[in-house]
Structures are given as structure tokens and as C-alpha cells.
């Protein structure tokens, strides 16, 4: 039994069924990446795993208990989430933003323990944002801003971290930077990561466990090598493609076929 799991999960959004009878066990200590075409329900699934969306049927369990039944503050000490488009309060500095990540560990009269201080310092260090700490978030470039948000989620010090498309709006260099950071969090700090990604090549490079979704169902899951085949690409994306080993890493690389 893994720490985070979904059993027979069905999710509705605005009265429309998005995810149907889906079961997933998130492997502990690994990087899991969810891929799939637009509107396949991958972000909705991530939101449900983070208890932001109540299931229509089925359950999400955290440490064997239904996540919806657990106090949200206690969940927040175990599971962190970075949504796709978080809002930074106007005028907030990077240091203050990252310090917000300590919220579930704080109280009205426990506002800044030594643990808070060292967690924020470590998060700034790990994401390379320590030099930016005094700047306002609106002054940052897209890549820097994304790293600051990841630093906030990191300062929360949760063993589980869910990231919804952490590389959107970033150029290729910054995408690699963020994904390398995510891998370091997993390898060096032992965090379990689940993220939604658009780019299949990058997903294959950085995932230990790949989940391919379409129409609210999981069509395939496993190692990138097992999942990414011409047949699954056709089934998931409706695209004819060749799959070759990435010359850099040996992981699968999808080359769409030329139109006839």
C-alpha cells in the first residue's frame, strides 16, 4: 500500500464527468508524471489527489485513510501542491512568499520557529533563489518566479509534492532547470513527486513512473520505456509516431510521423 492512492475514483467538474473509475497507487519515493491530451482529466486528477476536489465516487487515501476525512492542516504537513497558476499577493517578496509555505507548521503564537527559519533557508538554497529573496515576486522572470513558487512548496517540507504543469510558460532552458530541480528534490531529499507535464520527451527523461491518460481513464502506466510505444501514443494522442531512444539519456523519444 502506497501513501497516496486513488481507488475507483470518479470526478465531476461543473456537472460533467471528467474521470471515471480510476485507480492509481502513487509509488513512494519516486517521480510520477501524468501525461495525456488536453482535457483528459490529468489536472483534475491531481486536484483530487490533493483533496481540492471532492470525488463523485470512490476515494483518495493518504496513509490508508480517506484524505477528505483528515484535517486539512494535518494533510498540509504531509502533502504539498503547486497549482498551475498560483497568485502572488501584490508587493510580496520572494522570502515572504517562501515563508508562507511554513503555514501548516505555524500558529498565531508560533509564527517563526527555528525550524521555519532553516526550512525557508534550505528551500531558497535548493531552488537557487537565495539571491532573489529580497526581490518582489512581480520583478522576477518566469523561470525565477516558478522556482520561487517551488521553493514555497518545498519549505512546507511535505514528503509528498504534487506539481501541476510546473514548466508551463517557461522556455526550454528554464523547463530543464525546473525539472532538474524536481529530480534533485526526489533523489537528494527523498520526496515523492507527482507532476503533470505536457512534453512527452521531458516526461520520459524525468519520470520514474509514467501514467498515460485519455478521456478520464488510465490507458497505460509503468516505466517510460514500457509505456511510450507507437501503440500507446496512437491510443492516447491519436497520433502516428515513431519512438526512438533519446540519444542523450536512452529514454523514449517520440517522433511524429510526417503527414502523408
Partner 1 sequence: MTEAGHLVWRRGRWSLRLRRRGVAALLGLALALGALALASLCLGEPTLGPGAALRALLGPGDAAFAVGTLRAPRLLTGLCAGACLGLSGAMMQSLARNPLASPDLLGFTQGAGLGAVATIARTGAQGVGVAAAALGGGLAAAVLVGALAWKGGLRVWRLVLVGIGVGFALRAGTDVLMTRTDLFSASAATQWLTGSLNARLWSHAAQAGVGLAVLGPLGLALGRGLDRLEMGEDVATALGVRTGLVRLATVAVAVGLAAVAVAACGPVAFVALVAGPIGRRLSGGGGPALGPAALTGALLLCAADLAGRVLLAPMQLPAGLFTALIGAPYLLWLLATQIRKGAL
Tell me which stretch binds partner 1 (CB under 8 A): 74-82, 140-148, 194-202, 251-259.
74-82
Choose between 99 and 253: whose C-beta lies nearer to partner 1: 99
Among 36, 41, 80, 252, binds partner 1 (CB under 8 A): 80
Which set of grid coordinates corresponds to residue 188? 537528494
Tell me which stretch binds partner 1 (CB under 8 A): 17-25, 91-99, 199-207, 208-216.
91-99
Among 1, 38, 64, 89, binds partner 1 (CB under 8 A): 89
Rounded Cα distance, 34 and 210, in Å: 6
If binding is defined by CB under 8 A, does position 114 make contact with partner 1?
Answer: yes
Q: Closest separation between CB of residue 166 and partner 1, Å?
A: 14
Q: Which of residues 149-208 bind partner 1 (CB under 8 A)?
A: 153, 156
Q: Closest separation between CB of residue 188 and partner 1, Å?
A: 23
Tell me which stretch binds partner 1 (CB under 8 A): 22-30, 69-77, 124-132, 241-249.
69-77
Letters for 29-68 (x = contact with partner 1 by CB under 8 A, - = none) are ------------------x--xxx----------------
Tell me which stretch binds partner 1 (CB under 8 A): 101-109, 174-182, 190-198, 240-248.
101-109
Three-state SS letters, the chain? CCCEEEEEEEEEECCEEEEEEEEEEECCCCEEEEECCCCCCHHHHHHHHCCCCCCCEEEEEECCEEHHHCCHHHHCCCEEEECCCCCCCCCCEHHHHHHHCCHHHCECCECCCHHHHHHHHHHHHHCCCHHHCCCEHHHCCHHHHHHHHHHHHHHCCCCEEEEECCCCCCCHHHHHHHHHHHHHHHHHHCCEEEEECCCHHHHHHHCCEEEEEECCEEEEEECHHHHCCHHHHHHHHCCCEEEEECCCCCCEEEEECCCC
Question: Residue numbers of the site for partner 1 (CB under 8 A)?
Answer: 14, 47, 50-52, 72-77, 79-83, 85-93, 95-96, 100-101, 103-104, 108-114, 116-117, 133-134, 153, 156
Amino acid at each position: 500500500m502506497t501513501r497516496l492512492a486513488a481507488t475507483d475514483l470518479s470526478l465531476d467538474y461543473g456537472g460533467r464527468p471528467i474521470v471515471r473509475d480510476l485507480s492509481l497507487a502513487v509509488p513512494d519515493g519516486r517521480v510520477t508524471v501524468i501525461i495525456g491530451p488536453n482535457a483528459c482529466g490529468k489536472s483534475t486528477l491531481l486536484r483530487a489527489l490533493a483533496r481540492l476536489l471532492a470525488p463523485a465516487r470512490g476515494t483518495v487515501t493518504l496513509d490508508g485513510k480517506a484524505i477528505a476525512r483528515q484535517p486539512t492542516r494535518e494533510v498540509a504537513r504531509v502533502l504539498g501542491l503547486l497549482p498551475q497558476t498560483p497568485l502572488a499577493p501584490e508587493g510580496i517578496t520572494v522570502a515572504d512568499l517562501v515563508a508562507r509555505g511554513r503555514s501548516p507548521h505555524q500558529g498565531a503564537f508560533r509564527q517563526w520557529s527555528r525550524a521555519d527559519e532553516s526550512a525557508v533557508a534550505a528551500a531558497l538554497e535548493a531552488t537557487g533563489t537565495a539571491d532573489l529573496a529580497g526581490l518582489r515576486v512581480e520583478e522576477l522572470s518566469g523561470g525565477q518566479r516558478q522556482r520561487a513558487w517551488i521553493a514555497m512548496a518545498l519549505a512546507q517540507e511535505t514528503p509528498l509534492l504534487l506539481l501541476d504543469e510546473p514548466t508551463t510558460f517557461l522556455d526550454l532552458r528554464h523547463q530543464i532547470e525546473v525539472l532538474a530541480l524536481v529530480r534533485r528534490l526526489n533523489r537528494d531529499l527523498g520526496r515523492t513527486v507527482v507532476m503533470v507535464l505536457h512534453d512527452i520527451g521531458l516526461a520520459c527523461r524525468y519520470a520514474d513512473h509514467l501514467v498515460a491518460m485519455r478521456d478520464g481513464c488510465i490507458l497505460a502506466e509503468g516505466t517510460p520505456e514500457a509505456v511510450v510505444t507507437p501503440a500507446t501514443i496512437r491510443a492516447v494522442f491519436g497520433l502516428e509516431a515513431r519512438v526512438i531512444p533519446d540519444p542523450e539519456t536512452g529514454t523514449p523519444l517520440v517522433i511524429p510521423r510526417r503527414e502523408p
